[in-house]
Amino acid sequence: MSNSEPSSRDFNRRRDRRKQGLNSFTKAPPVILDRRERVMIKPEEKKSSTEFVEGKTAGDLVIPFLRRPGKFNTEGILKVNLADYPGHFVIGIVGKQGVGKSTILSHFAPQPDQIFSTQSCDQFLLSGHRTEGIDMYVTPERAILLDTEPLLSWTVLEKVLRNESLEGLNPDVYLEMDSIYHLLFLLSICNVVLIVSNGPEVDLDILQLLQRAELLKFNIPEYPLLAGHQDINYYPDIVFVCNKCKSQDFTWEKYMDLQVSLDILFKESELKTNGLIHFNHILPSFYDSNGSNVFLLPDQIEEKQIESFNTLASTLRNQVLSAPRKIGKKGQVSEKDWLRNAVKIYELVHKSDYMNEYLQVIRKLRDS
């Protein structure tokens, strides 16, 4: 047996570790949703989009990638001319409502004010979250950007209740499982996943979801349609982005507190949580030779910033885009073949025995 193929003993050991991990996670307290009173506010007038590519506006270049219930916009995706030549690079972003996912990911593209739609707090209270499902944009450097709807958001649950079925699940259980499915799918198809939070504090709700998704990803192949290369141990680079940080948050002490917390949480994780981001390259005082992939971004409404949002976001973009590409046959998978595999992975994720087992345990615990 070659060194690249795990032995059955190693395989069983990893499977047992995941089952033990799931048992501990199912004992965690239920997620408490932030339900706010609806406020009727006059919607802001939508500004016309400036054309930055001849004959194309931002609305033309951002393509709906996935919509509920599990519908891929294949025709629209093919219009962006996904390439047939070898290689692909995919960046996904996740986080709760209002943390700035769309704003951050837009800075990975030219003219960021015209890419992914953003919204004010007033607009959110009026009509709910802006991004639904997953939206896609392909940059001139051929980076595929995937902007996503918020995790653990009561507005997601509200729209499902209005248009779909909860499949007999308790609403809180449905929302948690829906968020795990969403996160698990991105972990399976992206090269890099950005985990966005407000400020430099640890968001345990999102990080626990990430840990559960890692355990439940077991046995999901990297490229299910690629014969002879069924790698079930693929994990993307994870970058923790702390957005809307105040001036007083940019201290070495707070930065190291966050590093220590992440090191403890992901000590035994197989996710690639370090080695890609070096925050000290832009702010030398934030030095940590073996730290997690942590990047701080300032609150844009503050007049005094340690460094401008645009400068820091550009640095984040450059460091993420410098992530190593896949090698060998996996590195030869074209963008179109990546899409075909992504559709298959979505199907496998929603039919996963591990997900079904976890769901049954959660239902029993919550109903008891």
**Domain chopping of the chain, boundaries:** 65-367
For residues 262 and 241, the answer to whether their CB atoms sit within 8 Å is: no
Q: Please report the pLDDT score of residue 43 as a whole number.
A: 39
What pTM did the predictor assign?
Answer: 0.83
Instruction: Give mean pLDDT, residues 143-166.
Output: 87
Least reliable range by pLDDT among 21-30, 156-165, 283-292, 314-323: 21-30
Model pLDDT, residue 146? 97
Give the residue, 5 or 57, on which the prediction is more confident. 57
Of residues 17 and 358, more confidently modeled: 358
Q: Which residue has the tokens 């979250």?
A: 129
pLDDT at 315 over 80: yes
Question: Which tokens sit at 116?
Answer: 């992914």
pLDDT in tens, 251-275: 999 999 999 999 999 999 999 999 9
C-alpha–C-alpha distance, residues 13 and 9, integer Å: 6
**Per-state percent for the chain, helix, strand, coil, to nearest 5:** 40, 15, 45
pLDDT of residue 290: 76
Please provide residue 196's backbone torsions phi and psi, each rounded to the nearest 5 degrees.
-105, 135
Q: Where is 137: in which H helix or E strand?
A: strand 134-138
What tens digit of pLDDT does each residue of 81-118 get?
Answer: 799 999 999 999 999 998 999 999 999 998 887 788 76
Minimal CA–CA distance to 188: which of 54, 345, 9, 28?
Answer: 345
Residue 167 has pLDDT above 60, yes or no: yes
Calculate ∠ Cα 22-174-165, nearest 5°: 145
- For residue 207, which amino acid is it? L
Q: Tokens 């896949």 sit at which residue? A: 326
Asked if residue 193 lies in contact with residue 92, where contact means CB atoms within 8 angstroms, the answer is yes
24 — pLDDT class (breaks 50, 70, 90): low
Of 27-31, 61-65, 220-224, the one with minimum mean pLDDT is: 27-31
Candidate from 79-83, 98-102, 222-226, 328-332 with smallest mean pLDDT: 79-83
> Which tens digits make up the pLDDT trace of 293-309?
999 999 988 878 889 99
Round to whole Å and give the CA distance between 81 and 32. 42
pLDDT in tens, 5-22: 445 555 555 556 555 554
**65-367 adopts what CATH topology?**
Rossmann fold (3.40.50)
- Residue 283 in tokens: 């702010």
Is pLDDT larger for residue 307 or for residue 68?
A: 307
User: Do 224 and 254 touch, CB atoms closer than 8 A?
Assistant: no
User: What token pair was written down for 118?
Assistant: 């953003």
Over residues 132-150, mean pLDDT: 93
Phi first, then psi, for residue 84 (nearest 5°) are -95, -15
pLDDT at 48: 32
pLDDT 10s digits, 332-351 = 999 999 999 999 999 999 99
Locate tokens 């559709």: which residue?
Answer: 343
User: Which burial class, exposed, middle or buried, applies to 220 when counting CB atoms under 10 A from its CB (0-12, 13-18, 19+)?
Assistant: buried
CA 106 to CA 108: how far, in whole Å?
5
Q: Which of 65-79, 134-148, 178-192, 208-222 has the lowest mean pLDDT?
A: 65-79
Beta bridge partners of 272: 237
CA distances from 213 to 105, 138, 152, 206 (A): 22, 26, 14, 10
Site of tokens 């931002």: 58
Q: Which has the minimum average pLDDT: 118-122, 191-195, 245-249?
A: 118-122
Query: What share of the chain has pLDDT > 70, as a percent?
Result: 79
Strand partners, 298: 245
Adjacency order of strands within the sheet including 63-67: 71-72, 63-67, 134-138, 144-148, 90-95, 192-198, 237-245, 294-298
Separation of alpha carbons 297 and 310, rounded Å: 9
- Residue 44: its pLDDT value, please? 39
Q: Residue 111 — left, alpha, or beta (φ > 0 → left; ψ -120 to 50 → alpha)?
A: left
CA distance 94 to 91: 10
Contact 135, 62 (CB under 8 A): yes
Task: Give Cβ neighbours of residue 165 (< 8 Å, ≥ 6 apart).
Answer: none
**pLDDT band for position 32 (cuts 50, 70, 90):** very low
CA dihedral sign, ordered 138, 144, 147, 148: positive
Question: Which string of DSSP letters, residue by residue, matches 25-38?
Answer: HTTSPPPPP-----
